[in-house]
Chain A
Amino acid sequence: MKSKLVLLVEDNPDDVKLTMKAFERSRLANQMEVVSDGVEAIDFLFGTGKYSGRDLSIMPEVILLDLKMPRMDGLEVLRRIRSDERTRLLPVVVLTSSLEDKDRVESYRLGTNSYVRKPVDFHQFVEAVQTLGLYWMVLNEPA
C-alpha cells in the first residue's frame, strides 16, 4: 500500500510525539509531515518559505490542525486553505484541546470536515486517532 501523507499542524512537541505514537499504534501505513505553527502549514501547502520548491502535486490526504498556535492560529490556516483553489477541497480535521462552543462553531463555519477533542487519556487518544485514520485514509474518497 502506498503510504499516504498526513499533515500534522501542532506546536506542542509532546502532543506531536503522542500523536505520532498513536498513529504508530493504529497500524495505519502513512507518512507524517509535522509543522509547528500556522505559518509553516501555509508554507508547506503552497510551497513557500522554507518549503519553496516543494512538489505541490503531493498534497496531504488529511490535515490534522491544532487551533491555538503562535504566529498564525488554526482558524486562520483553515480560512486560507478554504479560500485557495489548490487546497479548497483538502480534508481538514481540527484536533484540539478546546471544547469551547465558539471554537467549534467557528471551525465548522470556516469549513472544517471534522472537529475532534484530544482526550487526556492516551488509550482514548489512540482510539480517536485510529478512527480518524481509518476514516480519512481508508474509507474516505477524496475529491
Chain B
Amino acid sequence: MSSSSKPLTSEPLVVDAGSSSNATVNLLEDITREKARLEETQRAVLDILEDSAREKERLEETHRALLNILEDSAEEKGMAESTQRAMLNLLEDFDVERSKAEAANRELRASFESLRMAKEATEAANREIEAFSYSVSHDLRAPLRSVAGFSQLLLADYSGKLDAEGRDYLVRIAAAAARMGDLIDDLLKLSRLSRATMERGRVNLTDIARRILERLRSAQPERSVEAAAAPDIIVNGDERLLMIVLENLLGNAWKFTQHRDTARIEFGVEPGGEEVVCFVRDNGAGFDMTYAGKLFQPFQRMHKSDEFPGTGIGLATVKRIVERHGGRVWIEGTIDHGTTAYFAIPRPAEEKK
C-alpha cells in the first residue's frame, strides 16, 4: 500500500462531463491501489497462515517426539515389567525349589524320626528281654533250689523213715528239679546268644573241630571213634559263636553214635559258590526225616532222654548262630543209619566269584 494514496472515502466521487476522464483515471488508480492493498493483506494473511501451518507442523513434530518418548518409555516400562515378571518367575521358581527342598528335608527328618523310634523300640525290647532273662535266671531258680535242696536233704537225713516207694518219689522230685535247672540254664544261654555282639573275622573251622574232637575223645577214651576233619575249612564269622556250633554238632554226633562198635564222625565241606557249605556226618542213631523240621526248635527231641541225654537245645542254638551269620541250616538222616547236619555260611563279598 502506497503512503500517497488517499483513503477511498476521503474525496467524494464527482462525475461531470469535463472532468469525467480525469475521474475515471483516478478511480482506476484507486482501484489498483485498493487491489494492491488487498493483495498485500492477502499475502500477509497467507504469510500468517503459512506461519501457523509451520507452527502446527512444529507442534505436531513435538507431539510426535513426545509420543515417541512416551512410546519409548512405554517400551522401557514393558521391558521393566517383563524383567520384573522374569524376576518374579525366578523367585517363584526359587520358592518351588525351596519348598521342594523343605519337603525333602521334612521327609528326611521323618525317616530319621522313624528310624530313631525303631531303634528305641528295639532297645526297649532288648531291655525287656534282659529283664526277663534276669528274672528267669534269679527268680525261677530260687524256688527250684528249694525243691531240689530239701528233697535231697530229706533223702539224706530221713530216708530211714521212708519206705522204698517214698524214697523213689523223692529221687524223682530231685531229678526233675535238677533237669529243670538245666533247662533254665540252656534257655538263658540261648537268649544270651541272641544278644551277644558279633565279632567277625577269619575262622579256621578245621582247627576248632579238631580241638573239640580231641576233647571228646579224652573225656571218653574207652570209645572207638574214627573222626576226621577236612583240612582248611575257613569261613568269615564270629569264632566264639562258631565254636558253639561245632561243639553242638560234633557233640551230637559223638552222643548219637555211642551204641556203635566203631563210630564214624566226619567234618567236611561241600562245593558252593556264594557260601561255604559245611557238614557233620555220623553213622549214629539217625532219625525219621518226617520230623526234620522240628529238630531245630528249642526243646524238641527225637529220642527218649534215658536213651540219649540232653535238653534239646543244641540244634536250636546252632540254627540261631548260623542265622545270625546270614547262613542256613538243614539236616538229613535215616533211622539207624546216621545223620548229616549241614550249615552254610555266606562268603564275604570280596571272595565271591
Please list the residues of chain A having a beta carbon within 8 angstroms of any beta carbon in chain B.
Answer: 12, 14-15, 18, 21, 67-68, 96-101, 118-123, 125
Q: List 22 A-B contacts (CB under 8 A).
A: A12-B142, A14-B143, A14-B145, A15-B142, A21-B149, A97-B142, A97-B145, A98-B134, A98-B137, A98-B138, A100-B134, A118-B141, A119-B145, A120-B148, A120-B177, A120-B178, A121-B152, A121-B181, A122-B145, A122-B149, A122-B152, A125-B145
User: What's the least CB distance linking A25 to chain B, in Å?
Assistant: 9
Say if the beta carbon of B234 comes within 8 Å of chain A. no
* Chain B interface, >50% SS class: helix
Say if the beta carbon of B159 comes within 8 Å of chain A. no
- In the complex where A12-B142, A15-B142, A97-B142 touch, is A121 in contact with B148 (Cβ < 8 A)? yes
- 1/0 per position for B102-142, CB-CB distance to A under 8 A? 00000000000000000000000000001001100111011
Say if the beta carbon of B22 comes within 8 Å of chain A. no
B145–A120 touching, CB < 8 Å:
yes
- In the complex where A14-B146, A122-B153, A125-B145 touch, is A100 in contact with B178 (Cβ < 8 A)? no
- In the complex where A99-B188, A120-B177, A122-B152 touch, is A18 in contact with B145 (Cβ < 8 A)? yes
For residue B189, which residue of chain A has the nearest CB? A99
- In the complex where A99-B137, A120-B178, A121-B178 touch, is A18 in contact with B146 (Cβ < 8 A)? yes
B149–A125 touching, CB < 8 Å:
yes
User: What's the least CB distance linking A16 to chain B, in Å?
Assistant: 11
User: What's the least CB distance linking B33 to chain A, in Å?
Assistant: 143
Bound complex: CA A125 to CA B150 (Å): 12
Within 8 A of A (CB), among B140-178: 141-146, 148-150, 152-153, 174, 177-178
A18–B149 touching, CB < 8 Å:
yes
Bound complex: CA A68 to CA B138 (Å): 8
A120–B150 touching, CB < 8 Å:
no
